[in-house]
Amino acid sequence: MDITATDLWDRVFGTQPAPSHWTVIVTGLVALLAVLPRPVWRLTRNAVTIAHEGGHALVALVSGRRLSGIRLHSDTSGLTVSRGRPTGPGMVLTAAAGYVAPSLLGLAGAALLAAGHSTALLWGAAGLLAAMLVMIRNAYGVLTVLLAGAAFVLVSWRAGSEVQGMFAYAVVWFLLLGGVRPVFELQHKRRYRGAGDSDADQLARLTRTPAALWLLLFHVVTLASLVAGGRWLLGV
């Protein structure tokens, strides 16, 4: 059966019924299980790295910097390279965007789900991953982003509304919960002097303020996003 442009528009931007309260809770528990156990986190953290580096890249472009490329590594680290002034607001915003990006994306996703736009969320995520793919500069990064994008496209195009809703809620819960853990990991590394060139330390050098202050900001943004996004998802 042929799909017209109107049908496609209604399919993507129309509203979908909210899942049951228990479905929301179960998807949150599934996301929690993807974040807490260390062996699982070693794999799922790759998704948080995609959001982290995507945050750096997006803010670099918005602030007028020239994006050179993004690399994603199998140890879940990443690198985003942009060109422009080595100091100034653009560089500060770009450096600050990484650790808060997963949580802010999760918060935006929670707002979309609260409004009943689970399909639009899935298509939007696929579009962002496609745009990011153009700037990936290593094979592992290409594979990771392709697999993530394929999952979103497959679910949004082939699955029913119920499965789409469950998948969308699980993804948003994961971003909200998964955005919190890396900040605590960074705090732990800095305590033992294992992250001397972290985003917080770069920001400290750029702004001549303590790295601990930036670490506190990361904690505030990620935890506040989790609380606000969680309330939207649960409808409380």
Residue 63: what are its φ and ψ, rounded to 5°? -85, 5
pTM above 0.75, yes or no: yes
pLDDT at residue number 236: 79
Mean pLDDT of the chain: 91
pLDDT tens track for 216-229: 999 999 999 999 99
Q: Between helices 211-234 and 89-114, what is the axis angle to 10°?
A: 10
Decide if 5 is inside a domain.
Answer: no
Domain count, the chain: 1
Decide if 178 is inside a domain.
Answer: yes
Q: Supply 23's token pair.
A: 């479905």
Q: Supply 102's token pair.
A: 């997963």
Decide if 112 is inside a domain.
Answer: yes
Decide if 39 is inside a domain.
Answer: yes
Decide if 13 is inside a domain.
Answer: no
69 strand-pairing partners = 81
136 strand-pairing partners = 70
Burial class (CB in 10 A: 0-12, 13-18, 19+), 98: buried
pLDDT at residue number 166: 94
Mean of the pLDDT values across residues 205-232? 96
Decide if 4 is inside a domain.
Answer: no
Name the one residue in this structure whose structure tokens are 């990620």.
Answer: 222
Decide if 85 is inside a domain.
Answer: yes
Find the DSSP H helices in 63-117.
Answer: 89-114
Which domain covers residue 57, as residue numbers? 19-234
Decide if 1 is inside a domain.
Answer: no
Residue 189 near residue 195, CB atoms below 8 Å: yes
Name the one residue in this structure whose structure tokens are 């770069």.
Answer: 202
Euclidean distance between CA atoms 75 and 98, whole angstroms: 17
pLDDT tens track for 104-113: 999 999 999 9
